Chains A and B, each alone.
Chain A
Amino acid sequence: MHDNNSSDSYPRNSSDQAHTAFDSSVARFRAQHPEDTFEGASGVLFEQAMAQTRMAICLCDPHVKDMPIVFANRAFRHLTGYDESEIVGRNCRFLQGPESNHEALTRIRTALSNEDVTVVELLNYRKDGTAFWNALHLGPVYDADGKLVYFFGSQWDVSDVRAARADERHARELARELSHRMKNMFAVIGGIVNFTGRVRGIEVEAREINDRIQALGRAYETTLDDSHRGTVEVGQAIRAVLAPYDPDGTRILFEGNGLRSDFASVSVLGLSLHELAVSAIKHGALSQEDGTITVSWKKNGSASEPAIRIDWIEHGRGLDGLQSSLRTKPGPGDGIVDRMLDMARGGIVREWTQEGLRAKLNIPLRENVE
């Protein structure tokens, strides 16, 4: 009984299997197993479901030696490339090949002997020798009296899913390697700046340069850990930049959401916050024993010109006259912050209150690079 009708010859992986013609294998199975078929409406539904589903399905008879396949629908024949006559009467293992996984086969055998329902992913082979990853869902079929009559197997080609999973894993490993190399690179650059400063007798300047480079490195660290996104979570970068200035995590309080922006904005922000922190250590809230700083970030600006707004609020003791007059003059770090933010088409507004500096930073948000 060679099933060679025209409906079987359309190409494999056709996405439009829903409207294919009547699957004659269903009728043949019903004719040969009259005791197992549904009556009336159920029978029609069974027939249509078996014929139209793109899920490959087969039934095996556990009461016959070597548990042969007694029924395989059209999707099964398309998936495997075999004709019905080559399938019915054989045990499912004809789909296995040299690379089939023994552990998967053991799990199948165990499920069969326990009459369990299980899903096993295994490598199978088509008639033409090409391999595919088969997500095999198998389980027992009982009759009305609870007696085991068949095992069903439904097969789904998950080769693409597995390839996507492997790609994702590969991308993650690559990002991690990149992150590792970048950290090493920043460590090496730091080394060069430090010993150059020492040899030239300009250790203080070298340290200032190096502190900026390392702040930049920390801002970038977070970007590399999820480099596939193309944008950076602003809050993560802020935390990373400021972490060394608050080793116990008690002096700087963070408030913000999962706002994301592109790398370029984040590097300027990172360096600006580094300068503010350095100055807070010298003569701001971090120079006082119990001083704290709140750093918050949010999306600001209009819909057409979105911006990141950062509030840097120092909570220290009130500044007396002399200190506050000193602080209203811009320090060297202040000039750099102003110029960097200007260059990024942003800006900063500083205000000194009884508790210390309150600074509002603005920088254009660029989030649509993905």
Chain B
Amino acid sequence: MSGMVNPASEPRRVLVLDDEPLILLDLEFAVEDAGCKPLTALDLVEALQIVQNNAISAAILDVSLGQGQTCEQVARTLAAMGVPYVLHTGDLDRMDEAVRNLGGTLVPKPTPASVVVARALEPLAERQA
């Protein structure tokens, strides 16, 4: 994972969005392990604020955020900014068609946090190479 750290500047910022705090905590550790700076969001509002106020390099988005909310708005915003993201979901079948069509990498739940983070950072390594 050391190849993921950009030595010339600050660590990369990774947005992590999940409505489940315990999963968020696990992913936060895993992002740190990968040498990046995790910015965590429990809901849509927090996530959109983070995206507005920070230069994000990659993102891990839980698809279903409870109460009928999905991460679609965040995904659209990131896509428009050219920021790569993975969709982390426990129900690929039922996933909203609109979200699926956004074209993020799908990572089924449960997947070990280190693997989720590695998938999220893959596009960055490819760009560097």
**Would A187 and B110 count as touching, CB distance under 8 A?**
yes
A144 to chain B, nearest CB (A): 56
**A residues near B90, Cβ cutoff 8 Å:** 180-181, 183-184, 187
Decide yes or no whether B46 CB sits under 8 A from chain A: no
The residue that B110 contacts in the complex, of A176, A190, A195, with Cβ under 8 A, is A190
**Would A191 and B22 count as touching, CB distance under 8 A?**
yes
**B residues near A191, Cβ cutoff 8 Å:** 20, 22-23, 25-27, 113
Whether A179 contacts B91 in the complex (CB less than 8 A), given A188-B23, A190-B110, A210-B112, comes out as yes
Whether A183 contacts B109 in the complex (CB less than 8 A), given A188-B23, A194-B26, A198-B29, comes out as yes
- Minimal Cβ-Cβ distance residue in A for B116: A187
Cα–Cα, bound, A194→B109 (Å): 15
Cα–Cα, bound, A180→B109 (Å): 9
Cα–Cα, bound, A211→B113 (Å): 12
**B residues near A192, Cβ cutoff 8 Å:** 22, 26
The residue that B91 contacts in the complex, of A180, A188, A198, A211, with Cβ under 8 A, is A180
Whether A183 contacts B91 in the complex (CB less than 8 A), given A190-B26, A191-B23, A191-B25, comes out as yes
**Would B112 and A184 count as touching, CB distance under 8 A?**
no
Max chain B C-beta neighbours (<10 A), residue from A186, A187, A214? A187
**B residues near A186, Cβ cutoff 8 Å:** 109-110
Decide yes or no whether B93 CB sits under 8 A from chain A: yes
Cα–Cα, bound, A217→B111 (Å): 11
Decide yes or no whether B127 CB sits under 8 A from chain A: no
> Interface on chain A toward B: helix, strand, loop, or mixed SS?
helix
**B residues near A198, Cβ cutoff 8 Å:** 29
A183 to chain B, nearest CB (A): 4
**Would A176 and B22 count as touching, CB distance under 8 A?**
no
**Would A184 and B20 count as touching, CB distance under 8 A?**
yes
Residues A178-220 near B (CB distance < 8 A): 179-181, 183-184, 186-188, 190-192, 194-195, 198, 210-211, 214, 217
The residue that A183 contacts in the complex, of B27, B29, B110, B112, with Cβ under 8 A, is B110
**B residues near A183, Cβ cutoff 8 Å:** 90-91, 108-110
**Would B23 and A187 count as touching, CB distance under 8 A?**
yes
Cα–Cα, bound, A181→B27 (Å): 19
**B residues near A181, Cβ cutoff 8 Å:** 90
Cα–Cα, bound, A210→B113 (Å): 11
**Would B113 and A194 count as touching, CB distance under 8 A?**
yes
Max chain B C-beta neighbours (<10 A), residue from A180, A186, A211, A214? A180
**Would A214 and B112 count as touching, CB distance under 8 A?**
yes
Cα–Cα, bound, A192→B26 (Å): 7
Max chain A C-beta neighbours (<10 A), residue from B23, B112, B113? B112
B105 to chain A, nearest CB (A): 14
A193 to chain B, nearest CB (A): 9
Cα–Cα, bound, A158→B90 (Å): 37
**Would B23 and A195 count as touching, CB distance under 8 A?**
no
Cα–Cα, bound, A41→B11 (Å): 95
Cα–Cα, bound, A126→B54 (Å): 67
**A residues near B27, Cβ cutoff 8 Å:** 191
Contact with B along A149-179 (1 / 0, CB 8 A): 0000000000000000000000000001001
B106 to chain A, nearest CB (A): 14
**A residues near B112, Cβ cutoff 8 Å:** 190, 194, 210-211, 214
- Minimal Cβ-Cβ distance residue in B for A186: B110
Contact with A along B1-40 (1 / 0, CB 8 A): 0000000000000000000101101110110000000000
Cα–Cα, bound, A180→B94 (Å): 9
**B residues near A195, Cβ cutoff 8 Å:** 22, 25-26, 29
Cα–Cα, bound, A179→B112 (Å): 18
Q: Can you report 22 residue pairs joining A to B where beta carbons are below 8 Å apart?
A: A176-B94, A180-B90, A180-B94, A181-B90, A183-B90, A184-B20, A184-B90, A188-B20, A190-B112, A190-B113, A191-B20, A191-B23, A192-B22, A192-B26, A194-B26, A194-B29, A194-B30, A194-B113, A195-B29, A198-B29, A214-B110, A217-B110
A interface residues with partner B (beta carbon < 8 Å)? 176, 179-181, 183-184, 186-188, 190-192, 194-195, 198, 210-211, 214, 217
Given A187-B20, A187-B23; 16 other pairs, CB 8 A cutoff? A176-B91, A176-B93, A180-B91, A181-B90, A183-B91, A183-B108, A184-B20, A187-B110, A188-B20, A190-B112, A191-B23, A191-B113, A194-B29, A194-B112, A198-B29, A210-B112
Nearest 6 CB-CB pairings of A with B: A191-B26, A187-B110, A183-B90, A180-B91, A187-B109, A191-B22
